[in-house]
């Protein structure tokens, strides 16, 4: 048994982390709030050139043929910088969904090739969310209707903007019509694909939430070292140290279920419900506590628009409610645990589920 | 102990309710349930006109002594007034800083001339006040103020230089009470003065601070040789800290009653949302709503208990008052979290672009400041431990 990442996975993550931290700054995010799309085509092309959109695309379609476990650390880094571009959903949700249908419908293979090469972007709708994020910059949309999954070009749908509390997010209600031609899958297969998408979306959120939690703690630790009251740095006060210590414990402890969930999704996705919900709940709690304790430690500064903290807090509050809110995922945990056939016990720690 | 109101008090309740019903109409209709914390930027001028309407009916400063222009109401009557005021959905009081803080401070510590000059404008709702305490370097460490006041013999006035920050409603205010250092060589809480400063003058500049809500209620206030008349210092130079601390006592007194009714209105709104979207069937949400309700009741009981005891006449606090800020601020923050969890994913969608929050979103973001302003939760815990429990103070670092 080995619960660690490989040297290659860690090295790749480091290089992507460096890239993201150089390119995505609070200043660049703020500048994007005032633009029409809130997104940068140039940035997306750089992301494509780094191979990030191709990671989970099968090799046959020009991708790298990697899996969720290879991507999970990168998703965490996307959260750490509060990346607004929909990289995590593209890699973790759209790509695996299209890959699952690649033998069935020739359109999927073509789309995958173009995602890998950066020619197109694909947005994903799901009943768990009601709204579709980044639909305005997508060339194609994967949309659910009952047990079916449909593929529509952007000019086949009408987008209604829904303004978000997080100024970086771009959310839309999509008005569209399902036809036989747009349908990619349905019936039991559609149900199974939608369930898998929910798990992948929730996993991506959980990873970003852990990154956001750590980013907020890091900002706060720096601030409390600089800010002086009563003749000393406020970070010397136990009250504030304890706030940050509690956050550190939560986010560090959220990583184990997060990586566990990524592993299960890559090896046995049909059994991943419990692991994913566990990760989403733990990561959400870590991020929400970090937001609460960070703004508290920043004092009044943290409550201002000028202070960068709200960029991260608002993203955390938003992602906590996306791809299934905490209540939804807690219920999934309860339901699984109360099942008389649940495989629980010390010897089942790394079993199929649990 | 007696936990009911007398027939006279119940008669008073009818009188208040009728007056509000007859007067919170017409141009004031749109103010219903508006202008509370997090919403104070809304309708400032209409709310000041409402303040004057209240004054016409004799409903401002009802707890002040009659010789100061008040109504001399008992604690019971003030409780009743606040209950009826909130029940009617009457708006957040534009004059609350004057009525709740500046006025009582002037009554307790001010000269007769100051009382004559300033109290009538507060009672009439024509003059609004703001509070110049915090500075960039003096937040939790309030005594570390750097703003200076120097008496200019030639002009016969105090000249004030420095900067205040987080000054709520400074942009709407006519006067500001300012703590400033009268002795330039002094440190900490010694050598301070408490000044009543006119805002409309060349030496005062107000700049809004944009909050995470996208709106501005707080401000930075810059004093550049701002003038203050010789007779407008409260107490003597050097008394500033004593006066300021007395004022903080008023902040935790009767004004809490209106606040709790505001909380009740917010909790009711959360429950309405839960019923509307089915969240009330979720057992976890039900438990949290029940807890919120129970804790709000505790706050109310504690306030009644605190007010029955009345504390010192100088505004000094009893033990049960020490715990109040920590309790209500933390409760209110949890209510914000509960509201968002009740709304689920909808909680993230704005009422409208570019950044128009719904009332509950606005509440959720604003309550983040509750556990910070007026003494952070951490400072409150220190106060409870040191003053309430008598635990030893942390050794102070020598201030250079």
B398 touches chain A (CB under 8 A): yes
Complex ipTM, two decimals? 0.78
> What DSSP string runs through B252-317?
TTTHHHHHHHHHHHHHHHHHHHHHHHTGGG-HHHHHHHHHHHHHHHHHHHHHHHHHHH---TT---
Tokens 């040191």 identify what position? B386
Q: Which helix (H) or strand (E) holds A264?
A: helix A238-267
What pLDDT score was predicted for residue A350? Answer: 66
Structurally, at CATH architecture level, domain B252-388 sits in Up-down Bundle (1.20)
In whole angstroms, give the CA distance from residue A89 to residue A79. Answer: 12
Which of A35, A163, A284 should one mutate to test binding to chain B, selecting the residue with the greatest count of B CBs within 10 A?
A: A163
Residue B279 token pair = 């969240």
3-state secondary structure string across A138-183 = CCEEEEEECCEEEEEEHHHCEEEEECECCCCCCEEEEECCCCCCCE
To the nearest whole percent, how much of chain B has pLDDT over 90? 68
Q: Which residues contact B296 (CB under 8 A, 6 or more apart)?
A: B260, B263, B264, B267, B331
Tokens 């197109």 identify what position? A120
- Partner residue opposite B166 with nearest CB, options A171, A288, A300: A300
The residue that leads in pLDDT, A352 or B205, is B205
Residue A185 in contact with residue A148, Cβ under 8 Å?
Answer: yes
Burial-class residue A108 by CB neighbours within 10 Å (0-12, 13-18, 19+).
buried
- When pLDDT is averaged across residues B277-281 and rounded to a whole number, the result is 93
Radius of gyration in angstroms for the set of CA atoms belonging to chain A, rounded to a whole number: 20
B211 touches chain A (CB under 8 A): yes
**Chain centroid, CA A43 distance in Å:** 18
In whole angstroms, give the CA distance from residue B327 to residue B277. Answer: 29
In whole angstroms, give the CA distance from residue B181 to residue B164. Answer: 13
Chain B residue with minimum CA distance to A322: B345
Task: Quote the Cα angle for A226-B369-B357, to 5°.
Answer: 120
> Domain A189-348 sits in which CATH superfamily?
Butyryl-CoA Dehydrogenase, subunit A, domain 3 (1.20.140.10)
Residue A264 in contact with residue A279, Cβ under 8 Å?
Answer: no
Residue A88 in contact with residue A211, Cβ under 8 Å?
Answer: no
Is B251 one of the catalytic residues? yes
In whole angstroms, give the CA distance from residue A73 to residue A252. Answer: 13
Residue B18 token pair = 């009728």
Chain B residue with minimum CA distance to A226: B137
Residue B189 in contact with residue B239, Cβ under 8 Å?
Answer: no
The CA-based dihedral angle spanning residues B252, B254, B255, B259, taken in that order and rounded to the nearest 10 degrees: 100
List pLDDT tens digits, range B118-127.
999 999 999 9
To the nearest whole percent, how much of chain B has pLDDT over 70? 93
Contacts of B372 in chain A (CB under 8 A): 295-296, 299-300, 302-303
In whole angstroms, give the CA distance from residue B387 to residue B293. Answer: 29
Residue B296 has pLDDT above 80, yes or no: yes
Q: Which helix (H) or strand (E) holds A123?
A: strand A122-124
In sequence order, what E strands does B128-263 have?
A: 129-132, 148-152, 157-165, 175-181, 192-198, 204-208, 219-229, 233-234
Which of A128, A305, A320 should one mutate to test binding to chain B, selecting the residue with the greatest count of B CBs within 10 A?
A: A305
List pLDDT tens digits, range A2-21.
788 999 999 999 999 999 99
Asked if B209 and A166 come within 8 Å (Cβ–Cβ), the reply is: no
Residue B126 token pair = 């024509």
In whole angstroms, give the CA distance from residue B168 to residue B209. Answer: 10
Which of B212, B357, B361 should one mutate to test binding to chain A, selecting the residue with the greatest count of A CBs within 10 A?
A: B212
Residue B299 in contact with residue B331, Cβ under 8 Å?
Answer: yes
**Closest chain B C-alpha to A129 CA, distance in angstroms:** 7
Residues 368-387 of chain B with CB under 8 A from chain A are: 368-369, 371-373, 376-378, 381-382
CB atoms within 10 A of CB B236: 12
Chain A residue with minimum CA distance to B213: A305
- Partner residue opposite A318 with nearest CB, options B344, B348, B382: B348
DSSP A199: H
In whole angstroms, give the CA distance from residue B234 to residue B126. Answer: 22
CATH of domain B7-94: 1.10.540.10
Chain A residue with minimum CA distance to B189: A230
* Residues of chain A where predicted confidence (pLDDT) is lower than 70: 1, 344-354
Per-domain residue ranges for chain B?
Answer: 7-94, 129-237, 252-388
Q: Which helix (H) or strand (E) holds A124?
A: strand A122-124
Which of A299, A301, A302 should one mutate to test binding to chain B, selecting the residue with the greatest count of B CBs within 10 A?
A: A299
**Closest chain B C-alpha to A161 CA, distance in angstroms:** 9
Residue B165 in contact with residue B208, Cβ under 8 Å?
Answer: no
**Closest chain A C-alpha to B396 CA, distance in angstroms:** 7
B141 touches chain A (CB under 8 A): yes
The residue count for chain B: 400
- Half-sphere exposure of residue A58, counting CA atoms within 13 Å on the CB side? 14
**Closest chain B C-alpha to A201 CA, distance in angstroms:** 15
In whole angstroms, give the CA distance from residue B73 to residue B164. Answer: 35
B15, B220, B251, B320: the active-site residue: B251
Of B321, B334, B329, the residue nearest B293 (C-alpha): B334
Tokens 């105090």 identify what position? B158
Residue A271 in contact with residue A353, Cβ under 8 Å?
Answer: yes
DSSP B73: -
Contacts of B356 in chain A (CB under 8 A): 163
Lowest mean pLDDT among A239-248, B52-61, B145-154: A239-248
Q: Which residues contact A233 (CB under 8 A, 6 or more apart)?
A: A224, A225, A226, A227
In whole angstroms, give the CA distance from residue A38 to residue A24. Answer: 13
Of B306, B340, B343, the residue nearest B325 (C-alpha): B306
Across A309-329, b (16+ Cβ under 10 Å) vs e yields bbbbbbbbbbbbbbbbbbbbb
Of A137, A209, A170, the residue nearest A33 (C-alpha): A170
Handedness of CA B138, B163, B217, A305 (dihedral sign): negative
Per-domain residue ranges for chain A?
Answer: 189-348
The percent of chain B in helix, strand and coil, each rounded to the nearest 5, is 50, 15, 35
Q: Give the number of beta-carbon pairs within 8 Å between A and B.
A: 117
Q: In what order do the strands lie in the sheet with A183-185?
A: A122-124, A140-145, A148-153, A183-185
List pLDDT tens digits, range B317-332.
566 667 888 999 999 9
> Domain B129-237 sits in which CATH superfamily?
Butyryl-CoA Dehydrogenase, subunit A, domain 2 (2.40.110.10)
What pLDDT score was predicted for residue B320? Answer: 66
Determine phi and psi for B95, rounding to 5 degrees. -95, 15
Q: Which residues contact B22 (CB under 8 A, 6 or more apart)?
A: none
- When pLDDT is averaged across residues B36-43 and rounded to a whole number, the result is 82
- Partner residue opposite A321 with nearest CB, options B144, B348, B377: B348
């Amino acid at each position: 048994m080995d619960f660690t990442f490989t040297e290659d996975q860690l090295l790749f993550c480091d290089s992507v982390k460096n890239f993201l931290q150089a390119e995505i700054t609070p200043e660049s995010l703020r500048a994007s709030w005032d633009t029409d799309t809130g997104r940068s085509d140039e940035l997306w092309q750089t992301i494509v050139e780094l191979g990030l959109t191709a990671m989970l695309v099968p090799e046959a379609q020009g991708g790298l043929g990697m899996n969720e476990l290879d991507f999970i650390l990168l998703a965490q880094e996307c959260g750490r910088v509060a990346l607004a571009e929909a990289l995590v959903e593209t890699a973790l949700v759209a790509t695996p969904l299209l890959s699952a249908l690649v033998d069935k419908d020739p359109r999927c293979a073509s789309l995958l090739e173009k995602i890998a090469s950066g020619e197109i972007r694909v947005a994903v709708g799901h009943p768990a969310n009601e709204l579709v994020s980044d639909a305005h910059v997508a060339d194609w949309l994967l949309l659910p209707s009952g047990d079916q999954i449909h593929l529509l070009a952007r000019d086949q749908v009408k987008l209604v903007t829904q303004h978000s509390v997080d100024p970086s997010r771009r959310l839309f209600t999509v008005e569209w019509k399902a036809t036989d031609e747009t349908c990619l899958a349905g019936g039991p297969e559609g149900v199974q694909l939608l369930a898998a998408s929910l798990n992948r979306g929730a996993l991506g959120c959980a990873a970003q939430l852990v990154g956001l939690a750590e980013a907020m703690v890091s900002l706060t630790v720096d601030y409390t070292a600089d800010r002086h009251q009563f003749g000393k740095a406020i970070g010397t006060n136990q009250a504030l140290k304890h706030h940050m210590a509690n956050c550190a414990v939560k986010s560090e402890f959220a990583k184990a279920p997060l990586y566990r969930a990524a592993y299960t999704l890559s090896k046995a996705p049909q059994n991943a419900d419990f692991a994913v919900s566990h990760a989403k709940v733990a990561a959400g709690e870590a991020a929400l506590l970090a937001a609460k304790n960070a703004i508290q430690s920043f004092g009044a500064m943290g409550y201002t628009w000028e202070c960068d903290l709200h960029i991260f807090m608002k993203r955390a509050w938003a992602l906590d409610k996306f791809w299934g809110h905490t209540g939804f995922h807690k219920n999934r945990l309860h339901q699984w645990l109360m099942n008389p056939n649940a495989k629980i016990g010390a010897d089942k720690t790394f079993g199929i589920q649990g | 102990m007696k936990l009911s109101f007398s027939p006279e008090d119940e008669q008073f309740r009818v009188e208040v309710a009728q007056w509000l019903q007859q007067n919170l109409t017409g141009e004031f209709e749109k103010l219903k349930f508006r202008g509370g914390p997090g919403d104070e930027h809304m309708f400032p001028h209409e709310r000041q006109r409402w303040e004057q309407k209240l004054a016409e009916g004799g409903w401002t400063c009802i707890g002040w002594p009659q010789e100061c222009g008040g109504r001399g109401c008992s604690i019971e009557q003030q409780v009743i007034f606040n209950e009826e005021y909130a029940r009617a959905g009457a708006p957040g009081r534009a004059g609350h800083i004057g009525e709740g803080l500046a006025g009582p401070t002037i009554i307790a510590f001010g000269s007769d001339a100051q009382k004559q000059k300033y109290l009538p404008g507060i009672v009439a709702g024509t003059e609004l006040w703001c509070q110049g305490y915090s500075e960039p370097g003096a937040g939790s460490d309030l005594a570390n103020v750097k703003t200076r006041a120097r008496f200019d013999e030639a002009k016969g006035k105090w000249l004030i230089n420095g900067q205040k920050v987080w000054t709520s409603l400074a942009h709407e205010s006519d006067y500001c009470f300012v703590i400033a250092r009268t002795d330039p060589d002094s440190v900490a809480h010694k050598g301070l003065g408490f000044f009543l400063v006119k805002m409309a003058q060349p030496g005062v500049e107000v700049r809004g601070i944009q909050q995470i809500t996208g709106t501005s209620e707080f401000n930075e206030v810059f004093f550049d040789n701002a003038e203050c008349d010789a007779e407008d210092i409260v107490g003597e130079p050097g008394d500033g800290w004593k006066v300021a601390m007395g004022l903080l006592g008023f902040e935790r007194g009767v004004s809490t009653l209106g606040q709790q009714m505001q909380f009740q209105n917010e909790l009711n709104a959360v429950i309405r949302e839960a019923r509307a979207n089915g969240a009330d069937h979720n057992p976890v949400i039900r438990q949290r709503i029940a807890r919120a309700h129970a804790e709000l009741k505790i706050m109310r009981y504690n306030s009644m208990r605190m007010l029955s005891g009345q504390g010192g006449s100088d505004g000094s606090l009893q033990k049960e008052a020490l715990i109040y800020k920590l309790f209500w601020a933390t409760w209110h923050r949890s209510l914000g979290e509960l509201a968002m969890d009740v709304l689920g994913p909808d909680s993230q969608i704005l009422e409208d672009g570019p950044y128009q929050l719904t009332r509950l979103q606005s509440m959720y973001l604003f309550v983040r400041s509750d556990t910070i302003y007026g003494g952070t939760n951490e400072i409150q815990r220190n106060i409870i431990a040191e003053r309430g429990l008598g635990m030893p103070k942390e050794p102070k670092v020598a201030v250079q």
